[in-house]
Amino acid sequence: MTAHTVLRIDSSARHQDSVSRRLTDQVIERLAPETVVTRDLSNTLPLIDEAWIGANFTPADKRSPEQRETLALSDSLIDELKAADTLVIGLPIYNFAAPTTFKAWVDLVARAGVTFRYSEAGPEGLLTGKRAILVVTSGGTAVGSEIDFASGYVKHVLSFIGITDIEVVTADRLAVDPEGTVNKAEEQVARLAA
């Protein structure tokens, strides 16, 4: 599957010496997309609040100008998702979970009637036909272990909104063997289908 448009999502608080950013660079280089849209979550997103919830649950044709403005960033983030063929997500594990900035992004893009809908069969994701590559890094948490509350969460959220073609590049337990861990992750990147 060729990636024409990649949405790159960085969630590391680090810019210098960030392993997730460096590996995400390599994934992008491997995919060689026509277009890359970058969303850096380290610049913090607002948390949803009562005004946001009120605007979100007001029917679109009945929203006030203030409510439309309240949802403008959420709409923009969702437009980025819709336009992308592939998501490349740099996901460091902080204290066993995804960074709070990533959770803030999820809260802004997981919207009933927009990115998923409820049906008689249960929730149905609306962003189908996309690929996601997670670049998961950690200092000591083994990805997929019982103390990893990040990678499973992100896979579930993506599937919930319709993105089920998910691959994981793992650079976990960097505090134990940084060089070996990065080398293994780079091998995984090299095996990714462009």
Summarize the annotated binding site for FMN as residue ranges.
12, 18-20, 137-140
Annotated binding site: 12, 18-20, 137-140
Residue 159: φ, ψ to 5°: -60, -40
Instruction: Please list, in sequence order, all residues whose beta carbon lies within 8 angstroms of the beta carbon of residue 145, skipping any fewer than 6 positions away.
Output: none
Check: CB of residue 89 under 8 Å from CB of residue 11.
yes
Burial (0-12, 13-18, 19+ Cβ within 10 Å), 146: exposed
CB-CB contact of 48 with 108 (8 Å): yes
| Vertex 62 angle, CA 58 and 68, to 5° | 75
CB 98 within 8 A of CB 89: no
Q: Give burial (CB, 10 Å; 0-12/13-18/19+) of 26.
A: middle
d(CA 171, CA 168): 10
